[in-house]
């Protein structure tokens, strides 16, 4: 048995839809205890999908501090934190999509003058 064969618990061939979507086999999903999000990496010419383990981010602390300073507490604090956290996720996703478009040459990058204006 080769090293490669020992590392593979089970092998499945899955389809990729026209929208580039895949379905993770149920036994893989359960074995890895995946949630609604996973981390996807390119590693040595392979796509690696793995569980997403998130540590509390500094954004979380900043959001909570801001909401507490606004007077939120209890259930209302939790509700507002969820709203603000989703807004952060959307903003980060938009930034990453824009960076990908710039890297692919589909969009021009902004320069210093575009952002701050020229001194003239």
Give pLDDT tens digits for 62-106: 888 999 999 999 999 999 988 888 888 778 778 888 888 888 888
25 plus 67 within the same structural domain? no
Domain limits for position 30: 8-52
Q: ∠ CA 92-80-76 to the nearest 5 degrees?
A: 165
Task: Give me the number of domains the chain comprises.
Answer: 2
pLDDT band at 120 (very low <50, low <70, confident <90, very high): low
12 plus 35 within the same structural domain? yes
What confidence score (pLDDT) does residue 84 get?
87
Residue 66 domain-assigned? yes
C-alpha distances out from residue 65 to 31, 56, 87, 90, Å? 37, 14, 16, 20
Coil/strand/helix, residue 48: strand
pLDDT band at 17 (very low <50, low <70, confident <90, very high): very high
In the DSSP assignment, the letter for residue 49 is: E
> Rounded distance, CA 10 to CA 66, Å?
47
């Amino acid at each position: 048995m080769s090293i490669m064969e020992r590392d593979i618990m089970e092998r499945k061939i899955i389809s990729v839809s026209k929208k580039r979507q895949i379905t993770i086999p149920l036994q893989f999903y359960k074995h890895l205890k995946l949630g609604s999000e996973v981390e996807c990496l390119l590693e040595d010419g392979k796509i690696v999908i793995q569980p997403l383990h998130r540590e509390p981010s500094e954004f979380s602390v900043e959001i909570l501090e801001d909401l507490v300073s606004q007077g939120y507490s209890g259930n209302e604090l939790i509700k507002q934190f969820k709203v603000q956290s989703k807004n952060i996720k959307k903003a980060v996703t938009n930034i990453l999509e824009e960076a990908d478009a710039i890297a692919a040459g589909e969009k021009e990058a902004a320069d210093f003058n575009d952002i701050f204006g020229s001194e003239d």
